[in-house]
Amino acid sequence: MKIYHNPRCSKSRKGLQYLEDKGCKVEIIKYLDQGLTEKELSELIAKTGKKPFDFVRQHEQDYKEHYKGKVLSDEEWIKVLVENPKLLHRPIVVNGDKAVLGNPPENIDGIL
């Protein structure tokens, strides 16, 4: 399993703890440090069955100042998230060809 993780985010830490408590072997990907390509993020989001906008943190100041009210294509939202990884909801947990947003952590059960 993989977790796209931000150690400074309490929700991300809870997701990681949830996996560890369940005894899962986890590869931690610190996406803020490593970055994500548009292709990687597109594939990751596709595994969830959701749209890119579902992964935008709409309460962030950057979103409110620069993107609120804009109508963008899925590809454009992917580009925004790659260029502004702080706007990406987390954690994202991947198990094979399935992925979920691990907030709340119980969402992870759907791919275990």
| CA atoms within a 13 Å half-sphere pointing along the CA-CB vector of 53 | 9
Would residue 24 show up in a list of annotated catalytic residues for this protein? no
Which of 3, 4, 6, 9 is flagged as catalytic?
Answer: 9
Task: Please give the biggest Cα pair distance in the chain.
Answer: 42
Bridge partners for 101 per DSSP: 92
Bridge partners for 27 per DSSP: 2
User: Which helix (H) or strand (E) segment is 13 a member of?
Assistant: helix 10-21
Distance between CA 5 and CA 28 in Å, rounded?
6
Q: Which residues are catalytic?
A: 9
